[in-house]
Amino acid sequence: MTVQVELYGRLRDAGLGAAVSLELPEGATAFQALEALRAALGPRAALLEGAALATADAVLSGAERLPAAQARLAALPPVCGG
């Protein structure tokens, strides 16, 4: 299945642009999607440390299955502020 992952914050500046398409097996989990994104980022994969995947409705835990094919996800880097 193909999923579109929108990138935000420092992930958007990593050189892949605003979004990336990932090919994943049917029934893939959020963890598998993050691993595929790590591979796509190559040497910049450390930027995913602490990142989460989210749908339009919720942040996904690593074990959660991704929504149906052609789903749109967001990769959210950790943020800090005061």
The number of domains in the chain is 1
Residue range 37-60, pLDDT digits in tens: 999 989 999 988 888 999 988 899
Q: Give phi and psi for 63, each to the nearest 5.
A: -85, -10
Q: What is the pLDDT of residue 78?
A: 81
Mean pLDDT value across residues 10-30: 88
Provide the residue range defining the domain that includes 46. 2-76
Q: What is the pLDDT of residue 16?
A: 78
Q: Is residue 81 part of a domain?
A: no
Q: Is residue 82 part of a domain?
A: no
Q: Is residue 11 part of a domain?
A: yes
Q: Is residue 58 part of a domain?
A: yes
Q: Is residue 32 part of a domain?
A: yes
Per cent of the chain over pLDDT 70 is 93
Mean pLDDT value across residues 4-30: 88
Half-sphere exposure (Cβ direction) of 65: Cα atoms closer than 13 Å: 7
pLDDT of 5 higher than 60: yes
CATH number at residue 43: 3.10.20.30
b/e map of 25-36 (b: 16 or more CB within 10 Å)? eeebbbebbbbb
Q: What is the pLDDT of residue 29?
A: 93
Residue 75 near residue 13 (C-beta atoms within 8 A): no
